[in-house]
Amino acid sequence: MNLETKWLDDFVALAACRSFSRAAEKRFVTQPAFSRRIQSLEAALGLTLVNRTVTPIELTEAGLLFLSTARNLTEQLGEVVRHLHNIEGQQGEVLQIAAAHSLTLGFFPAWMARLRREGLPLNTRLVASNVGEAVHALREGACDLILAYYDPDAALQLAPELFPSLHLGETSMLPVCAVDAQGLPLFDLDGGQSVPLLAYSAGAFLGRSVNILLRQRALRSTTVYETAMADSLKSMALQGLGVAWVPRLSVTAELARGELLVCGGEHWQVPLEIRLYRSALQRKAAVRLLWRKLEAGVGVEG
């Protein structure tokens, strides 16, 4: 029998709320996902725990008997985890941070160094992740913080009252390409000619704002390569295969060495804001300390 501990918490929440929708909201998941998790618990136990034919829902006899066990297990597990956190806290809490791939190299190291210089040494564990995976990890408690780009119109949003965020800095998406023998850009976005486009694949977070810009500017282009990874687009641009929009912080070195050039005016650039997210339920002392320092301006770009 394979049980996931989150199913037990789900069941306890459902018993308290007597409503799938309210319990799902309390557990920060969609109602369909919550319902599937309760079904998975019932399948693992081989029991029907919930009478779904009445409103508000009721627990079956088996559900009522299992509820006390579920409560005891979650409480005991919570006590063990709190004890382990106390031990870890004495040794220095480790913050699990999920970050967009381009931020892991282009922003995170310098940010950590700035925090240390300003008197806030942190023990961190960094995981490169796409936005969807990072959001899921934060909701499930699998990470403490998300370091990500902010897009006010993106489909994946985190409710600010449940997942507050802080501004850390700004950058921009730049159209870049390789250089020709004379050291000039291989392609010109303002030249009126069709250009080979190194594009973000459908659903890529950074691709949404770029695609809006391309439609607004009516760029003549032919897509020759697609990926969700900004660093992969940069590599293809370095090979002279087309124009790629990548975060400025990802191409600082290549621009300085003249290996890549910005191949359009400022009207072809897309501003980006960098934010840090946490759960409002976060209890780690290190997270609370970091948040207070950031709110006071420590470690935040001017």
Question: Using one digit for the tens of pLDDT, what is the confidence trace for 114-160?
Answer: 998 888 888 899 998 888 788 888 888 889 999 998 877 664 567 88
87-101, 189-203, 281-295: the lowest-pLDDT one: 87-101
The pLDDT-based confidence of 281 (bands split at 50, 70, 90) is: confident
Strands (E), the chain: 50-51, 58-59, 94-99, 123-128, 145-150, 165-177, 195-200, 221-227, 243-247, 261-262, 270-278
Closest listed residue to residue 277, CA positions, set 141, 138, 133: 138
What are the tens digits of pLDDT across the range 104-122?
Answer: 988 999 999 999 888 888 8
CA distance 140 to 98: 13
Percent of the chain with pLDDT over 90: 53
pLDDT higher than threshold 50 for residue 90 = no
Comparison of pLDDT for 147 and 86, the residue scoring more: 147
Using the predicted structure, report yes or no on whether residue 86 has a pLDDT greater than 60: no
What value does the mean pLDDT of the chain take? 87
pTM across the whole model: 0.67
- Which pLDDT score is estimated for 251? 94
The CATH 1.10.10.10 portion of the chain extends over 5-89
Write down the architecture of domain 5-89 according to CATH.
Answer: Orthogonal Bundle (1.10)
Range among 22-31, 69-78, 253-262 with highest mean pLDDT value? 253-262
* Averaged pLDDT, 273-290: 88
Residue 237's CB is within 10 A of a number of other CB atoms, namely: 29
User: Which of 14-18, 107-111, 116-120, 259-263 bottoms out in mean pLDDT, i.e. has the lowest?
Assistant: 116-120
Segment 292-300 shows an average pLDDT of 85
pLDDT, position 189: 93
Pick the residue with more confidence: 234 or 29?
A: 234
- Residue spans in the chain of domains classed CATH 3.40.190.10: 91-170+273-295, 172-271
**Which amino acid is it at 185?**
P
User: Does pLDDT of 203 surpass 80?
Assistant: no
Taking domain 91-170+273-295, whether its CATH number is 3.40.50.300 is answered by no
Paired tokens of 104 = 């892991």
pLDDT > 70: percent of the chain: 93
> Cis peptide before 56, with omega less than 30 degrees from 0?
yes
Instruction: Give domain 172-271's CATH superfamily.
Output: Periplasmic binding protein-like II (3.40.190.10)
What contacts 175, CB < 8 A, 6 or more positions away? 189, 243, 244, 245, 262, 263, 264, 268, 269
Residues 38-58: tens digit of each pLDDT: 999 999 999 999 999 998 999
Is residue 89 pLDDT above 60, yes or no? no
Over residues 8-21, mean pLDDT:
92
